[in-house]
A and B are shown apart, each in its own frame.
Chain A
Amino acid sequence: MEPLTWTGALGAFLNPALGLGVVILAIGIFAQIVLGFFTAPMTLQANADGTLQGREGLLGTVETVNKYLFLFVLVLVLAYLIGGIVTPYGTGGIIGEMSRQFLPVWVALLVTFGLSILYKRKLGLYGKLFDSTVGMIGFGIVMFWVFTALFVGLFDLIATHDYLSQVSGLKNKGPGIPVPEGTDGAIPHYLLGGDNLARDIFSRVVVGSTFVIAIAPLATVFAFMVGITLGLPAGYYGGKLDTFLSFVANLILAFPVILLFYLLVTPEIVLTGIPSYMAAFLFIFPLIFFGVLLNSRYYTQPAKRNAILIPVLGILGWLYLSVVNQKGTVIDFLPEWFDLFDISILVVFVSVVFVNAPTVFRIVRGLTLDLRTRDYVAAAQTRGEGAWYIMLWEILPNARGPLIVDFCLRIGYTTILLGTLGFFGLGLSSESPDWGTTINEGRKLLLIFAHPALPPAVALLSLVLGLNLLADGLREESLKD
């Protein structure tokens, strides 16, 4: 087999075209910036027929040209991706083949966007997201990784080779290297080359996405449950409770995160059972949250409340016991048949929740302090509603805007934290395909072989960037309300 080049046969005419397009576009943008300094800013003017008056003069022409040039470059980029899918194997080069591997993701993305844009007026805040370009780009990037993780994790698609199997002779080989005859794998090449143990980098990066997509949102949800359950009463009641909880939150926040990780996420600490106790403490908060949430709403109708509360708490309690109960740790009392699952990286999960919860607490407390002076809270108090009803059903829904935005940002931050843990080799095995660990493995030989560390770095960057853009779009759209 021939090694693959980056763009393959398609590149023969696409590369010069793209190069030319990019160069002209760069000149155009430069000209536009320079002209922008010398032209007076023009406000938009409406014509009589309802259209808008375009910019005139040289600047206007440059702007129009730039717009079409940008579209041209975009079409060329798409041509690489689509060309790789429709042409026979190898024609599209590495980029084309990667695009072919991601085909299920492309289809899922198209369907999601098509349906969402079609029904965007009926979908509330989610639908409004599709009015903002930034939000759409962010959502696209995030969903790209979500779908990748789903297809890899559930259907075993996308990844081309086993992410752990080592193929002799491919150690540290560059992108597009052919694998020897008779090696297992969907395609006969390592698309992004081999790492220092001769494993396929492309497959490792794709499989690594399942780790992040599974852990980061879940840990953030738990952090939010803890932060909300403690932040609401702290802000609403104030007083000693607030002083105490704020002191504890500031205490945790004053710890440099890395020091905390180095102290908490070690095999020795796991031996002492501290992570298990912390899990038992932190994961009880969703139970309290949902229990209080439902009880405060339905306590006037005991029959209905019991009908709702008992199954909800039953299922959550079961999940809680299964998560907390780990074989071979200090908390190990459940019979085997009752224990649903064991989480092997409980300590990573717990410490990420632990680091995030105080910040959420502070945000919720601040929002509550602001919202508790509102008229609808006074109205509810006059009606004689309970304190928890007011907090959870009056204040919390009105604080949702900033909380949703922070939720997106915080998933990104959690992703960064997980990467940090991997980067320092804390809590995760060195074989783990998660991006932090892969970057850490790659950086050791970075000055000699740069290609193993770059793909996971770019993947992590793109996911966090997508989440940030999504949060930005959401903030913009929720402010418009």
Chain B
Amino acid sequence: MGLFILRRLGVMLLTALCLTFIVFWLTNLGPNLEKLAKTQGNARMTDDAVVSWLENRGYSQPLPVKYGQWLGVLPGYVIDGSDGETRARCQEPGQPLDEVSTFCGILQGDWGFSTVFKDEVGSIVATRLGLTGKLMFWVMMVMVPGALIIGVLAGMREGSRTDRTLSTVSIVSTATPEYVSGVVFISVFATATFGMQWFKGTATAAMDDATFENFFLPVITIALYGMGYIARMTRASMTEVMTAQYIRTARLKGVSFPKIVLKHALRNALIAPFTVIMLQFPWLLNGVVIVETLFNYKGFGWVLVQAAGNNDIELLLGVSVVSVFVVLITQLISDIGYVFLNPRIRIS
């Protein structure tokens, strides 16, 4: 078991390194840097000015060197600029040059500086992640119990009318991407078009003070898309369990149906959905980006859009590191959890 986790951690680290390097490479391509120079400096810069702007700020170093500096394994640059100013990567605003530390990168806990928000990447990501965490918490609170109940009810009696109805409901919910359900919900429940103006169409106010009125629509929009998929997986695993020998034995012994479902079937039927729920996190991340854009909720997904739209390299890297780690850690948890939950694997 220990060796398994160690191996998985090793692969995870390698994956994370590869992914961040890809993001680093894509954001540091020539045209992207040129765009960055023009948005940060002056939109009408000449080509020479762009080159010297980039050289003075260390963007023209070779890619592996820049990546090493960002990671914190290579010393940060100190460049005597062509405009006479000396810049160092690790220089805090106002700090004299001789006090600047040699290394500053992820390993030293320095995530860099956002060019769009003019703030430390670490603090931006932390605050935004907190806001998204709130959203995700409520999504999970709605989605997981809802999906499990639908799945168990549908899989309890395969082929019954309840099963067919609930299966159709879950197919519909998997077929509705967030930008469709969000738009439909807003126009039905937040405008006067259909006379049901019950909720707010934006969630900006929910960042400080989340109420049912302004937070329900974004939560339900994300939850619905994932719910159908988890419900279908739960249903499949429930139907499989319900045909097992030990359920038949229990029925023949005369155990009542609710008792069979709750005591005998449920625990075994929930192993498979557990992994599915964990693997839903990467998908939820997509939903978060769409819903935060649609409802103007300034969380992690909103930052991703801002960073990518403005080619804010260090912020984008911070965002990708966080999202990639979320994906990889949930994969790891789902693998380990599966081993722990499944007695057949645990004992062998």
Contacts and interface: CB of A to CB of B under 8 A. Distances in A.
Given A424-B293, A446-B183, A447-B190, A461 B304 contact: no
B115 interface: no
Contacts of B305: 262, 424
A442 interface: yes
Contacts of A469: 171
B106 interface: no
B285 A472 contact: no
Given A263-B26, A468-B171, A420 B32 contact: no
B282 A453 contact: no
Nearest to A137: B168
A257 interface: yes
Contacts of A464: 175-177
B161 A447 contact: no
Nearest to B161: A36
Interface string A220-260: 00000000000000000000000000010011011111110
Contact of A419 (B11, B177, B186, B331): B177
Contacts of B184: 454, 457-458, 461
B286 A256 contact: yes
A134 B176 CA distance: 18
A271 B31 contact: yes
A451 B282 CA distance: 32
B175 A461 contact: yes
3 shortest A-B CB distances, which residue pairs?
A: A450-B187, A262-B308, A268-B31
A37 to B, nearest CB: 10
B201 A446 contact: yes
Contacts of A268: 29, 31-32, 34-35, 311
Interface of A: 36, 41, 134, 247, 250-251, 253-259, 262-264, 266-269, 271-272, 274, 412, 416, 419-420, 423-424, 436, 439, 442-443, 446-448, 450-451, 453-454, 457-458, 460-461, 464-465, 467-469, 472
B243 to A, nearest CB: 14
Contacts of A41: 157, 160
A251 B179 contact: no
Give the dominant DSSP class at A's interface.
helix
Nearest to A471: B171
Contact of A258 (B15, B183, B289, B327): B289
A393 B11 CA distance: 35
B258 interface: no
Contacts of A412: 175
Contacts of B319: 259
A314 B201 CA distance: 56
B27 interface: yes
B232 to A, nearest CB: 10
A264 B290 CA distance: 18
Contacts of B31: 267-269, 271-272
Contacts of A258: 285-286, 289-290, 301, 304
Contacts of A453: 183, 187
Contacts of B157: 41
B309 interface: yes
A465 to B, nearest CB: 4
Contacts of B168: 134
A257 B176 CA distance: 17
Nearest to B200: A447
Nearest to A472: B171
Nearest to A264: B26
> Chain A CB within 10 Å — which of B32, B175, B293 has the most?
B175
> Chain B CB within 10 Å — which of A247, A272, A457, A460 has the most?
A457
Contacts of B301: 258
B193 A451 contact: yes
B168 to A, nearest CB: 8
Contact of B171 (A436, A447, A465): A465
Nearest to B326: A256
Contacts of B23: 259, 263
A263 B21 CA distance: 13
> Chain B CB within 10 Å — which of A274, A461, A469 has the most?
A461
B18 A251 contact: yes
A443 B183 CA distance: 7
A271 B30 CA distance: 9
Nearest to A460: B180
B323 A446 contact: no
A19 to B, nearest CB: 16
Interface string B14-44: 0100110001001101111011000000000
Nearest to A134: B168
Given A254-B282, A259-B319, A263-B26, A454 B328 contact: no
A252 B300 CA distance: 21
28 contacts: A36-B161, A251-B15, A256-B289, A256-B324, A257-B286, A258-B285, A258-B290, A259-B323, A263-B26, A268-B32, A268-B34, A268-B35, A269-B32, A420-B286, A424-B305, A442-B183, A443-B186, A447-B190, A447-B201, A448-B191, A450-B186, A450-B191, A451-B193, A453-B187, A454-B183, A464-B177, A465-B171, A465-B175
B327 A461 contact: no
Nearest to A446: B186
A447 B183 CA distance: 10
Contacts of B331: 254
B179 A439 contact: yes
A264 B301 CA distance: 17
B320 interface: yes
A402 B290 CA distance: 31
B63 interface: no
Given A256-B289, A442-B183, A457-B184, 8 more contacts: A258-B290, A259-B320, A419-B180, A420-B179, A446-B201, A458-B180, A468-B174, A469-B171
Contacts of A271: 30-31
Contact of A254 (B15, B190, B286, B289): B15
A442 B331 CA distance: 37
